[in-house]
Structure 1
Amino acid sequence: MSPSRAQEAVTVRTFAQRFSATRRGARLARMLAVHQLDRWGHPYGSPASETVALVVAELAANAVLHGRVPGRDFELRLHRESDHVRVEVSDTHPDHPKLPAPDPTAEGGRGLLLVEAAATRWGTSPRTGPGKTVWAECATHAAPSLCR
């Protein structure tokens, strides 16, 4: 390549990072996801950023609380597409999550209900090795924020 030709920009479409299966790891996953969204052109506080932050927070919290296997981390992957971001959280626990029956008196257990409300689609899939991946697709086009 000649020095006079401009170098083409490389478009990063995937972010992947492993985190300790702790509350601190879950918090860091959310913070880095929002930072990556900002780098992809969805600024802090935008509807896409808020939706992805909510989904990552809930899926990472579930990986730490329900998917934790001692000595094993969880992984966050973000895949940027033209109209959405796919969030994937993988852990090594074999049980796949299910939507709970609504219980207005329960102090917790609403994380997947929030994911279902915020995401356009979500589900689970097996992963290589032990465990599973819980994924959700979040729209990135202009839409009302779910976090107001």
Structure 2
Amino acid sequence: MNVEISTPGTELVQRLSATPRGARLARRLTGSTLATWGYPHDGDLSHTARLIVAELAANAVTHGRVPGRDFELRLSLLRERDTLRIEVSDARGDRPLRFLDGGLEDENGRGLVIVQVLAKLWGVTERDVGKTVWVELGLTASRRPRT
């Protein structure tokens, strides 16, 4: 596993295969990274972050997959803003996000409703190739990291 750490202890960037295994690894990596940063695996922040990463990574693998291209997970601890920022980037910019197009019976778009409810802020940024879905979670209600 190749991990880039741009600012020690505050950011993780990882490219993962656009497969179900890659999506599972993204979720696990999120939990272990937050634990390293002082947010326990069984805490609210970790549970929420892993749920969001699981949904965004599953979307990247299912709807954003381009054969031969990975997706990217980025976690950033923004202490000055009391925020955890999660970004999942995929290689498909031609497919917009969908929200429950067919009502509650529709199986597509439910996960984004969960993301919307749990996030402090969230959005989509277009890239040269593909898109990035980003989510910000507040740290205030979570246990403060060890210093």
Structure 1 length as normaliser, TM-score?
0.83
- Which secondary structure does the structure 2 equivalent of 1:35 belong to? helix
Alignment partner of 1:70 out of 58, 61, 67:
67
- Which secondary structure does the structure 1 equivalent of 2:28 belong to? helix
After TM superposition, the structure 1 = structure 2 runs for residues 137-148 of structure 1, keeping only pairs within 5 Å, are 137-142=136-141
Counterparts of 2:140 and 2:54 in 1: how far apart (Å)? 21
Q: Does residue 33 of the first structure (1) align with residue 30 of the second (2)?
A: yes
Q: Which runs of 5+ in 1 are unaligned?
A: 1-9, 144-148
Counterparts of 2:60 and 2:110 in 1: how far apart (Å)? 14
- Give 1 or 2: higher helix fraction: 2
CA deviation string 1:19-63 (max 9, x = no partner): 000011000000001100111111011011111001101100000
Q: Is the 8 A contact 1:96 1:124 kept in 2?
A: no
Structure 2 length as normaliser, TM-score?
0.84
Percent sequence identity over matched residues?
Answer: 49
Identify the residue that residue 100 of structure 1 maps to in structure 2. Answer: 100
CA deviation string 1:96-148 (max 9, x = no partner): 31433462223443010010011111101122x311111000112226xxxxx
Aligned residues: CA RMSD? 1.6
Counterparts of 1:115 and 1:65 in 2: how far apart (Å)? 17
Between Structure 1 and Structure 2, whose CA radius of gyration is higher?
A: 1
Measured at CA, do residues 40 and 118 of structure 1 come closer, stay the same or move farther in structure 2, by a change above 3 Å? same
- Which secondary structure does the structure 2 equivalent of 1:104 belong to? helix
Q: Is the 8 A contact 1:96 1:132 kept in 2?
A: no
Identify the residue that residue 9 of structure 2 maps to in structure 1. Answer: 12
Aligned pair count? Answer: 133
After TM superposition, the structure 1 = structure 2 runs for residues 85-124 of structure 1, keeping only pairs within 5 Å, are 85-94=84-93, 95-101=95-101, 103-124=103-124
- Which secondary structure does the structure 1 equivalent of 2:92 belong to? coil
Identify the residue that residue 42 of structure 1 maps to in structure 2. Answer: 39
